[in-house]
Chain A
Amino acid sequence: MGAGHGHKLHFHGHSPVHRAPAHLKVLALLGFMLLVVATPGDRLLAFAGYLAVLVAVVAVSRVPPTYLLKRMVVEVPFVVFALLMPFIATGPRVDVLGVAVSQPGLTAAWALLVKGTLGVLASLTLAATTEPRDLLAGLERLRVPNLLVQIMGFMVRYLDVVTDEMRRMRVARESRGFTARDVRHWPVIARSAGALFIRSYERGERVHLAMLSRGYTGTLPRLSATDHADHQERR
């Protein structure tokens, strides 16, 4: 348990993309995304260019493309929404394969799909080439408010603990003959989610007590940003 399935997004490697400072990668991602979002949907050539840049970065990073593609399933809800848009949007209609769909809806769906896909792919590339703690140190160097970095740090640290707790609760449910099959079972799932929330809240309180016990006064010492950085340089 615990070990081995930690950072599901991170792909271990030593490429130049892996070694690049985290704060520069974050800035690059942010710049890239702003550019993609600001490009009008009909500039096909521009999007082809963006894709080419991304593919080049992925190639340099030596992260297997299938590794990234498998993780792109997070985009599915957006794809579904994009597919619905031509049908539910209003405006002038055009015929596509004999079905009348909304012209503005079609354009918007295309823009959403292409920009979303580029965004997800770029973010996954960052996640695959950067350890979470380096990412946090990078954000700290970018002067992201300390409190936000702390919150993200706790999220990274406790994600596994909470997922594990969730998995144990599911195993316990199923061991008593319960499997969620249809909508009538949702109340049970909802109660489990409530219990998980309370447990996590209580854990939060215990963690806070443990922090106070070691002299915490409101700011985390900037360890990862300083010590860890020169730690790596020494290698």
Chain B
Amino acid sequence: MSTPVLDVRGLAFAYPDGHQALYGVDLHVHRGERVALLGPNGAGKTTLVLHLNGILTAGVGTVSVSGLPVTKQNIAEVRRRVGVVFQDPDDQLFMGSVHDDVAFGPANLGLRGEALERRVRDALDQVGMADFADRPPHHLSFGQRRRVAVATVLAMEPEILVLDEPSSNLDPASRRELAEILTALDVTVLMVTHDLPYAFELCPRSVVLSDGVIVADGSTYDVLTDDALMAAHRLELPFGFDPRSMRPRAAG
């Protein structure tokens, strides 16, 4: 198979205060896949995400993005290739207008003028927010801000989109709109979530991280219907949701 977009090998990490969050994580994500990263609170999901674009650097083990190792020298290119959408859009949108926020990433890559404007337009079109370019981010609804946050990362034309809890705090309509946007994107996705129906709907493959190690990796249907695995790692399906009663959306 081709070089994985994301290749994590034996990644271990302890915070400076001695708390160890990851104990040897192995994870491969290939081009075009949509993978859900599941796990209970405190499993190390966010720590893992921060390793993917070099905010944290591996204690032991390696992370490579399309064959490029995540190191200090490669940091700029790694951050272009890995687009992280953080959980709180207010953390991600810090400029005075939607346009400036979306332009921030590509401008840091050195784009200017018409090339920059085209990136901004394309990214906003992809999330259906082109009409809001001149608005200050804090005047948008939460769902709109989440979509703009996705656009800020898409504008960097990443090879993999990493989403931290994309459905949190969204009302059902915004949740569905975001799902439609994500399925329409032609980009590899790694989605950290507690929202198991969302993972089932969007991601053909799921990986379970628990206590700093990967404990399961398979089709989302198989993971969600493995009752022993689910119970052992504090994963619970919401009331009334039964993957056995429905088939997942066709992959792709």
Contact = CB atoms under 8 A, between A and B. Distances in A.
Contacts, number: 99
A2 interface: yes
Interface string A198-221: 000001001101111111110011
A157 interface: yes
Given A160-B138, A221-B104, A221-B107, A153 B86 contact: no
B136 interface: yes
Interface of A is mostly: helix
Nearest to A4: B139
Interface stretch (B91-99, B184-192, B211-219): B91-99
B55 A213 contact: yes
A214 B79 contact: yes
B105 A215 contact: yes
A225 to B, nearest CB: 10
A223 interface: yes
A223 B107 contact: yes
A122 interface: no
A4 B83 CA distance: 31
A216 B84 CA distance: 14
A206 B55 CA distance: 11
A139 B222 CA distance: 58
Contacts of B100: 223-224, 228
B25 to A, nearest CB: 20
Interface of A: 2-4, 6, 132-133, 136, 153-154, 156-158, 160-161, 203, 206-207, 209-217, 220-221, 223-224, 227-228, 231
Given A206-B91, A214-B156, 19 more contacts: A2-B138, A6-B136, A153-B95, A157-B95, A157-B137, A206-B88, A209-B50, A213-B55, A213-B84, A214-B104, A214-B105, A223-B95, A223-B99, A223-B100, A223-B104, A224-B97, A224-B100, A228-B99, A228-B100
Interface of B: 50, 53, 55, 76, 79-80, 83-84, 86, 88, 90-92, 94-97, 99-100, 103-105, 107-109, 116-117, 134, 136-141, 152-153, 156
